[in-house]
Structures are given as structure tokens and as C-alpha cells.
Amino acid sequence: MTDWTDEHRLLSSHVDTAYYLEANPDVAAAGADPVAHFMTQGWREGRNPNPDFQVAYYLRANGDVAAAGVNPLLHYLSAGKAEGRQPRRPLTEERTVVEAASPARLSGGWDGAPDPEPDLNQTTLVRLLDRLAPRDASLIVAFSHDDCERNIGGVQNLVRAEASAFAQLGLSYLHVSPQRPHSFHSEFPADRTTYSLRLNGKRLGATRASDLLAALRRGDGGAPLVLVVHHLLHHSPEVVAQFTELDLATTIFWVHDFLSVCPNYVLLRNDVSFCGGPPEDSGACTICAYGRDRARSRERIRRFFAAAAPQILAPSESALSVWRKAAGLPYRAAAVQPLARLNLSRTKPRETPSGPIRVAHLGAPAMLKGWPTFRGLAARFADDPRYRFYQLGHTSGRARGVEYASVSVTRETPNAMIDAITELGIDVIVNWSICSETFCFAAFESLAAGAAIVTHPNAGNVTALVRENRQHGLVVDDEGGLHALFGQGQLAPFLSAGDRFRGSLIPEGGTATWLQETMDGRAVLRRLVRTDRIEAMSGIEVAGG
């Protein structure tokens, strides 16, 4: 009896009852004492007593403990800890990601089925286009990886904004997306590829790529087209390359991510570490789950670029810099065209926090977005009265010491995140993205809400954004620096020192904005639109028009 009582007493300070009951609803439903349950049967059933002790791992890694049949937590507390044994699988989150890394998972999967039959044949398509997008007017033909009216995301938002901006220029916008997803790139030729078409946002139907090619051959007197490739995911690069043979004013290729460098388009080796796209025959690519697919994908991408020699548009300097370094592909010229613009009110700075500093993670509780780092930070400072931790997003990470607020940014509520940051009085966003962000909307939303950003040196345009706006955030070297920042209380003086203003995020018109606002773009635009119209729409005087 004494032994039982002693054990219960010892374990009661190590069994996290709230965690145990949440993780084991059957125990909660039975009204059992969590400590007693863990002691008598829980550990034998592989149930963990708290988030930091993994029963199954401890028994697997310590065969002597498993063979002795003793409670692994008791063993750890009485002997294992002093012997240097690990209570949980070291680096378990990172290793779980590595173990799950798979091209099939990232590519969205393809069931091997052929593309569906189209509902538009060539004759119908030609008739439709002749009526809706006459041959004597230029047409923008834009490719991306999905139907932008049915999905939401950075590329989808841009395509819609771009279509709208072109409409203002009087140009029609034909959006082309694969009717079905494929593994990275489709293997089908043009006459077996089915595209979904939208003209100026309205669905036209589905057509074979070969029929679309024929319909876009405009013949003598036809106005030139502009080919815009936002994404080659799920597309056959060879089929899209055939569109470069049409009468084009230019071909634009957007670097929204790094699919043209590697099928792992965020350049995360084994989904866990930013790799920057090293040589394909490097050791890194050899041991990467995407290495084999990369070799084949690159061959096809190279052929596409050789045919297209496109104008490159990247949403940020950091994206362009990574791409230039890693891609090794031929292109005509490259420029930066941001996806949105931050418009801050300079009249009234945001007030300095009076209570605890409110610190948040924005978005999904995903490794890619630095969730493990945030969770670790929150766990360490959960009981520190100087801070309160929040997660704002549509899926809760359920972490100790983190308050969750459900936020969904939709087409109808584009400012939902900015509003939530403001309403909750969030002072600081920890943006610890492990990939090099090309254009991180969350970072812009943070600034628009007047919150400061804490990030690291390799977060792509997030790092650049903070460095350009020193009063808006801090760049710390690593997680050690992050913990030191919080531990040493350096955030409070930083937040008091500089003014941060609230404002809004204004979407830009993508390719249309580039055509209107840059010298290279205007040179192309003059081939598409009458000069007086350009001047009227953009307010920019067109040199030599």
C-alpha cells in the first residue's frame, strides 16, 4: 500500500492530468483518476503521461526497461534521467516530417487516370473565342495550376486581380488550368491534355490543349497574344511550350515559388530544411525524397525555358535572388513585381502595450511556417507574466500556453487576419517560416495591423520586409536568439521605442501592373493597347508613345 501511495505521489507531479484526459477521452468518460490510470494500465497501453514523455519510444529505445516490465516513467525518474536516457524521441517533429516526405504527398496526387473528355471541341471553341475575344484585339493567355475561382491562395488571388486589371485596360484574359491534377507535371501530349478555361473570370468549359492551340492561331491581321505562366504544376511543360510558338508579344514566367528549380517548390530538402536548390547531382539531392523526381522535372523545365526564353517576374527581390542563384535557366530579363502594397496611415501610431505582450503565430500549425519553434517558445514562457501567446488561423495547434483564435481569410473577408490581430491586440508576430518566403501575405498583414515581426535571417521576403522597416520588427539569428530575446525582456523596450502604424494591404495587378508601370512592360503594352488608353488607365505618361 505504501509503495502504491509513494508511486502515486511521485507520478502525480509528472502526469499532466489535463493533457492525459484530453488525449484519452475514454479515461475522461470513465471518470478515472488519470494518475492511477497511467500507473495501473495507461503506460502498458502506450499512453503518454505528458507531452514530453513518450512511453512507446522509451521502451523501444531502452530494451532493458522493456524487458524488466517496469513503468517507464518511474524508471526514467528514478534512474534513466541520471543515466542520460531520452524521455522522448529526439527531434521527433522534424524526423516525423522527414519520414513522411514524399513527392506523391506534395504533388497533390494523381490517380493515373487519363484527362476527362472535354466539353468544347475545336469548332465550338473557335466560335466562342471569335465572339468573346475577337482576333483583332490582343488576348492575355495565363496558365496556372488550378481554377482560381474555386480555390484560394496567393497565386489564385493574383490571377483574379490580374484579370480585373487587364479588364480595365480593355484586354481579355483567358485563364487556363489543368482539368485534373497530375504528379508535378502531366505526361500527356496536347491531344490528350484537357484544360479548364475561364475568360474574364467566366467559365468557358474544358478543351483539349491541341484544340486551344489551334484556336489561338490567329493568322494574318490578328493581334498578338501575351503568354503568362504563373505555374507549371500539373501541366506538361512540353505542351505549354507549344503555346510559345503562337504570335506572342511576350512570354512572362512568374516565380511564385521554386517549382522550376525542384518539384519541392519551397526548396525544403526532405520537407525539413531549406536547401536553396543545390546542384542536382549533389549529396543533398541524393538523400532527398525529391531528388529523383527533380532530375526528370529539371530536364523538362529546361526544355520549356529554352523554347520560351521568358521575361521573369518575381514577387520579391529575395524570391528573384534565390531563383537566379538556383535555376540556371535561360531568360530574357527579370523584374520584381510585388503582389500587394502596404498602405500605412502615418497619422496615429499604434499604442504601446500596457499589460503582457501578446505574441502570436499566424496561420496553420505547420513546420513549414515555424510552428514547432513558436510552440517551444510558448511552452518555455507559458507561465511568464510578461507574455501571452496566441495562434490565429483556421486549424488549432492545441499547444500548452497558446490561446487559439479561429480566423479564416476568404474572398469575402480578405482583411480577416488584419482585423483579428487588431481586435486581439496582438503586439508581436513570430514569423519563423523555415522556407525562403517569396511573398508572405501574413507578414504584410502583421504590419498592416501594426504588429511587430520577429523573424530569422533566412525567411526570404519576411526578413527583407523587417530589414526595410526597422521599427516594425527584429531579425534574430536563431532559436537561441529568439529565446534570449524573450528571456532577457528585450521586446518591451523595442515595442516602446518605435512608432508602428496601422493600414491596409492593397492588391496589385500582377502582370498588368508590370506592363503599365515599367519601361520594359510599357514597350510590350504598346503592342497590345492604344497609347491613349494606356495613359488614361494608368496615369503614367508613356515614353515615345
Burial class (CB in 10 A: 0-12, 13-18, 19+), 404: middle
Tell me if 98 contacts another protein by CB under 8 A. Answer: yes
Query: DSSP 3-state assignment of 66?
Result: helix
Tell me if 81 contacts another protein by CB under 8 A. Answer: no
**Site residues (CB under 8 A) for another protein, limited to 127-166:** none
Q: Which stretch binds another protein (CB under 8 A): 94-102, 136-144, 177-185, 249-257?
A: 94-102
Q: Which amino acid belongs to residue 487?
A: G
- 352 bridge partner residues: none
Give the nearer residue to another protein in terms of CB position, either 101 or 475.
101
Among positions 8, 14, 89, 332, the unique one binding another protein when judged by CB under 8 A: 89
Place of cell 516594425: 472
Q: Which stretch binds another protein (CB under 8 A): 33-41, 88-96, 172-180, 357-365?
A: 88-96
Tell me if 91 contacts another protein by CB under 8 A. Answer: yes
Tell me if 295 contacts another protein by CB under 8 A. Answer: no
Tell me if 278 contacts another protein by CB under 8 A. Answer: yes
The Cα–Cα gap between 314 and 521 comes to: 14
Q: Which amino acid belongs to residue 356?
A: P
Do the Cβ atoms of 491 and 428 come closer than 8 Å? yes
Among positions 18, 79, 104, 287, the unique one binding another protein when judged by CB under 8 A: 287
Count of residues interacting with another protein (CB under 8 A)? 29
Q: Which amino acid belongs to residue 339?
A: L
The Cα–Cα gap between 264 and 271 comes to: 8
The Cα–Cα gap between 201 and 148 comes to: 9
Do the Cβ atoms of 186 and 232 come closer than 8 Å? no
Tell me if 366 contacts another protein by CB under 8 A. Answer: no
Tell me if 122 contacts another protein by CB under 8 A. Answer: no
**Site residues (CB under 8 A) for another protein, limited to 50-69:** 61-63
- C-alpha cell recorded at residue 335: 523584374
Tell me if 343 contacts another protein by CB under 8 A. Answer: no
Chain mean position to CA 128: 36
Tell me if 487 contacts another protein by CB under 8 A. Answer: no
**Site residues (CB under 8 A) for another protein, limited to 192-221:** none
Query: Closest separation between CB of residue 98 and another protein, Å?
Result: 5
Tell me if 270 contacts another protein by CB under 8 A. Answer: yes
Among positions 282, 343, 395, 408, the unique one binding another protein when judged by CB under 8 A: 282
Tell me if 84 contacts another protein by CB under 8 A. Answer: yes
Helix (H) or strand (E) holding 347: strand 340-349
Chain mean position to CA 187: 26
Place of cell 484526459: 21
Give the nearer residue to another protein in terms of CB position, either 17 or 86.
86
- 340 bridge partner residues: 507
Q: What angle do CA 480, 485, 487 make, to 5 degrees?
A: 90
Residues in touch with another protein (CB under 8 A)? 61-63, 84, 86, 89-91, 94-95, 98-99, 101, 269-270, 272-273, 275-276, 278-279, 282-289
